[in-house]
Amino acid sequence: MEEDSDFYMTEEDLKFLIGSYQQRSQDLFTQLVAIEAKNMQLNQLVESLNKTIKQLESSKQKRGSKTTEIISNV
């Protein structure tokens, strides 16, 4: 039975393969950290905007009740 030399990896092939895996894993980890940081930033923005919406709705309700009082007094 003849061995297929393309099927087996040499030590040099394995070194290149491991180096590629290491570089790719570092790249993916860096991307993951950047995405998590962006996610935290956007979550904070959403919380801030939700707080602003609640404040605006609250002030709108207060203005609405004052307008109702003025109309009923007329």
pLDDT band at 72 (very low <50, low <70, confident <90, very high): low
pLDDT for the residue numbered 64: 72
pLDDT for the residue numbered 7: 76
Taking 60 as the threshold, does the pLDDT of residue 3 lie above it? no
Dig out the tokens for 37 from the structure. Answer: 């940081």
> Per residue in 15-69, pLDDT tens?
999 999 999 999 999 999 999 999 999 999 999 999 999 999 998 887 776 656 6
